[in-house]
Amino acid sequence: MKSRMHYILIALLCMAVLSGCGNPAGVYNNEEELAADYDSFNIVSGVRNQLDNGAEGSFGKMEGMVTVRKFEAEEDTTAEMEYDFSITKGKAKLILVTPDGNVTTLVELEKQEEEEASEEGTVEFTLQKGTNLIKAVGGKEASFSYTFTVEKAEETTPDTEK
């Protein structure tokens, strides 16, 4: 009897641990999950690096979401992100999660044809007061890479001397 209870407890413990893992592939279009302050992902191969005002990374196979950069803002600030984003399999995006839980897609690509899809560009957005997250999000078995830098807009005062 004691041995049987031992096995039941182990089985319940395993079920509890596994249920906490979530479904990384199911977060791609789920704004509530994307806005969460935790990450949920399966990565077979990948590398991420922080840059001075940005980040770079490459994933051979990834699904779910992972925070790649945090930005603190003392007040609402306009920012501009310069990016280079490419994908060789699946679909992926970079998103901004603001302190109030709003999710904004900054760049998104989906592989449609035989060749790699890529995009370079800039996007302007608002960093809200507090902690803002930039997350990489991959659909099922996505293979992609990114590089980006974020520059906060300079505050200017009107020229009153003419």
| Structure-derived torsion over alpha carbons of residues 40, 49, 37, 125, reported in degrees to the nearest 10 | -120
List pLDDT tens digits, range 22-40.
Answer: 566 578 989 999 999 888 8
Residue 69 lies in a domain: yes
- Residue 87: give its domain's CATH number: 2.60.120
Residue 5, both tokens: 């209870």
Residue range of the domain that includes 49: 24-152
Which band of pLDDT confidence, cut at 50, 70 and 90, is reported for residue 125? very high
Average the pLDDT over 68-97 and give the result.
95
Residue 77, Cα to own-chain centre: how many angstroms?
A: 20
Average the pLDDT over 51-72 and give the result.
93
Domain count, the chain: 1
Q: Which range among 13-17, 90-94, 112-116, 155-159 has the greatest average pLDDT?
A: 90-94
Average the pLDDT over 8-12 and give the result.
49
Residue 44, both tokens: 């077979």
The continuous run of DSSP H or E covering 10 comes out as helix 2-19
User: What secondary structure letter does DSSP report for 160?
Assistant: -
Average the pLDDT over 14-21 and give the result.
38
pLDDT value, residue 43: 84
Residue 121 lies in a domain: yes
